[in-house]
Amino acid sequence: MNNLKKEKMEGQVLVETYPKAASIIKDSIINNIKKSMRINDDQLGRDFIKDIIDNQIDGLLIDMIENSPHSLFDIFDNNNIYIYIVVRNNKNGVLFNYRIVPRDKKNSSRSSKDRKTIEYYAIEDAFETLNNQL
């Protein structure tokens, strides 16, 4: 998998590369949607709502990965994978790194001048970590 780490993966590739993690994350998103809409599985329109959610969940997850990676941090927290962003000032400006606790590999050597990019890299590693735990 190291060759996947050289460049940022597209959301679709990330979901396909780590299917067990993607499944857990999709279930969490669906449960969050149900909670926010106050829907339970005993309500009358459950099949209609389920179809809407199930048919859109892949696109929603990919969109979250690519456009709002930070929105997935809580889901990883709920699975005991904690991401934190480290901000450093250096002579060239601000530089962002991340850490994932716990994980079985060394701390990230990736850095970026852009917070969203480093959050995306962290999500990639968190997907791999979660997938390996399942």
Burial class (CB in 10 A: 0-12, 13-18, 19+), 76: buried
pLDDT class for 101, splitting at 50, 70, 90?
Answer: confident
Beta-bridge partners for 82 = 101
Residues in the chain: 134
> Which residues is 98 bridged to in the sheet?
85
Are 86 and 99 within 8 A, CB to CB?
Answer: yes
| Strand residue runs (E) in 1-81 | none
Residue type, 107: N
pLDDT digits (tens, 9 = 90+) for 48-99: 666 767 778 888 899 999 999 999 999 999 999 999 898 989 888 999 999 8
Q: Taking the CB of residue 38, how many other CB atoms lie within 10 A of it?
A: 7
Total tally of structural domains belonging to the chain: 1
Asked if 1 and 128 count as a contact pair (C-beta separation under 8 A), the reply is: yes
- What is the value of pTM for the model shown? 0.79
What residue numbers bound the domain in which 17 lies?
Answer: 2-133
